[in-house]
Amino acid sequence: MIFAGGKILPDSERSAVLGRLEEDISQTLGGPPLAAETVLDALETLAAELDSGALDGLIARYAPPGAREELDRVRPQISRKTLEDRLSLELGGLGGPRPFGRAEVRPLGVLLHIAPGNMAGLPAFTAVEGLLTGNLNLVKLPHGDKGLTLAVFQKLTELEPRLAPWLYAFDVPSRDTASLKRLAALAGGIVTWGGDGAITAMRKLAPPGCKLIEWGHRLSFAYLSDWAGLDLSPLARHILRTGGLLCSSCQVIYLDTEYLAVGEKFCKDFLPVLERAAASRYQAPGQAAQGALYTREALLEQIVDRAASDDLVFAGRCCSLVLRRDMELELSHLHGNVLVKRLPRKDLLPVLGRQRGRLQTAGLLCPERLREELAALLARAGVNRITAPGRMSDAFLQEAHDGEYPLRRYVRVVDVENNF
């Protein structure tokens, strides 16, 4: 399906829409600019409909199960106040008087979004960020999008018809490089969400001079120092709740120690905590069965894929811990099956430095007296978010995205000299 001009069209219209897209874009960009106020008003109305339950039918029809819970969690992100705060935090001060004249903040023009499929609503959200900065948005829908994005766009443009010429969505498969190239050729910036594969592919398709904005996949971990007596259950609940699937999910629990015996003791102590979190997370038999199957699979993979290793495996009910002897940050077995490694403070910089550019969140658990020192060390190592272990995947208002303010990347600054 395609979204163009405020309407949902069948895929058979794609070449016709692409054929006149350049002309349509020039016409839109040549007209009055898109004011942030217009976008904020439309979003406020949309959010009110979401709160009133008017969109529940739409969500139930198009979004995957669990999307409603996820949307409720990110709901504060689209409140008017948050978005206004973001505009002033991220773009405030970029424009204004300068000794030579003035600086103006202008949109990049056209943004092509290679939207992610890992969270319902994110394709719409990336387009909203583009709209807020005054850009015209071309969205390549993710493979698994069952129509939610198109429905949201239609709703939004119904509420505010002035947004219609600024929003396009295409259900182009990633292998259709010809269509993607045509879209990329029209864009001033390409916003790519995805793994290494998607990012490398888009770099090849982008014309030279096109700004690349990449929100790649990340790895996160927990860092525990002097943890005796501290509550480990929020970390356990985080591990079970996100299943290791988010950029901010804990993959490895790092222990600030040199001794393997300390690691073993930690695993023995932590496993029952993790099991309790699993039992409360997986209450229905179908969920528990899923957890048990994933854990069984993790244990088999451990046997088959790491036959030569001397890892220590601690298997629990619907969860497991694997104590590995190296220090590298790597992906865990996911779904409540997490890795434990030693990483003494002195080795932190060189070890994490090897993953620089992939690091995201560190969930820090330590006595208060160590907190500032360790947070500073983690920040130096390249970590972009430092939180309590239980809040690693929580969204914080006004937080940066992987170390950057997104809106700032979707605009450019135009310097204008006075008196010439």
Partner 1 sequence: MLSRQKLFWLSRAYGLPGSDARFLRAVRDNCAYHIKHCPEYRLICRAEGFSPDCLETIDDLARLPVLPTLFFKRHHVSSMPEWRMAMKVTSSGTSGSFSRVGFDWGCVFAEIPMVLRLGFYHRLVSPVPARYVILGYKPGKQDKMGVARTMFGVTHFAPPVGRFYALKWKDGAYVPDLDGAVRTLSRWGRFPLPVRIVAFPSYLWFGMERMEELGLSVCLPRGSKILLAGGWKQHYAQEVDKPRLYALARKVLGVEEEHIHEFFGAVEHPVFFNTCKKHHFHIPAYARVIIRDVRTLKPLPMGEVGLVNLITPLINATPVTSVMTDDLGCLTPGEDCGCGLSSPYLTILGRAGLNDITTCAAGAAELLGKGEAF
Which positions lie near partner 1, rule CB under 8 A? 64-65, 116-119, 144, 193, 195-197, 216-220, 244-247, 249, 251, 279, 282, 284-294, 296-297, 300-301, 303-304, 307, 317-318, 330-331, 334, 358
Give the CA distances from residue 41 to residues 36, 68, 272, 329, 370, in Å, rounded to whole numbers and listed in that order: 9, 23, 49, 44, 45
Query: Of how many residues is the chain composed?
Result: 420
Determine whether 50 is exposed, middle or buried from the number of CB atoms within 10 Å of its CB (0-12, 13-18, 19+): buried
Of the two residues 159 and 288, which places its CB atom closer to partner 1 in the complex?
288
Of the two residues 91 and 172, which places its CB atom closer to partner 1 in the complex?
172
Beta strands 312-316; 319-323: pairing state: antiparallel
Of the two residues 6 and 389, which places its CB atom closer to partner 1 in the complex?
389
Q: Closest separation between CB of residue 225 and partner 1, Å? A: 24
Dihedral, 385, 387, 393, 396 alpha carbons, nearest 10: -80
Of the two residues 228 and 307, which places its CB atom closer to partner 1 in the complex?
307
Determine whether 194 is exposed, middle or buried from the number of CB atoms within 10 Å of its CB (0-12, 13-18, 19+): buried
User: How far is Cα 30 from Cα 23, in angstroms, rounded to an integer?
Assistant: 10
> Residue 83 carries which side chain, given as an amino acid letter?
L
Q: What is the torsional sign of CA 321, 327, 329, 330?
A: negative
Contact in structure between 120 and 92 (CB atoms under 8 Å): no
Q: Closest separation between CB of residue 117 and partner 1, Å? A: 5
Of the two residues 93 and 197, which places its CB atom closer to partner 1 in the complex?
197
Of the two residues 32 and 357, which places its CB atom closer to partner 1 in the complex?
357
Of the two residues 230 and 279, which places its CB atom closer to partner 1 in the complex?
279
Q: Closest separation between CB of residue 217 and partner 1, Å? A: 4
Angle at Cα 121 formed by Cα 118 and Cα 124, nearest 5°? 115
Of the two residues 210 and 246, which places its CB atom closer to partner 1 in the complex?
246
Beta strands 96-98; 101-107: pairing state: antiparallel
User: How far is Cα 348 from Cα 340, in angstroms, rounded to an integer?
Assistant: 15
Q: Closest separation between CB of residue 91 and partner 1, Å? A: 26
Contact in structure between 179 and 14 (CB atoms under 8 Å): yes
Q: What is the DSSP string of 57-96?
A: HHHHHHSPTTHHHHHHHHGGGGSHHHHHHHHHHHHTTTSE
**Phi and psi for 70 in degrees, rounded to 5?**
-65, -45
Q: Closest separation between CB of residue 290 and partner 1, Å? A: 4
What number of other Cβ atoms are within 10 A of residue 267's Cβ? Answer: 21
Could you tell me the two tokens for 30? 């040549």
Q: Closest separation between CB of residue 244 and partner 1, Å? A: 6
Q: What is the DSSP string of 132-199?
A: HTT-EEEEE--TT--SHHHHHHHHHHHH-GGGGGGEEEE---TT-HHHHHHHHHH-SEEEEEE-HHHH
Contact in structure between 110 and 188 (CB atoms under 8 Å): yes
Of the two residues 46 and 71, which places its CB atom closer to partner 1 in the complex?
71
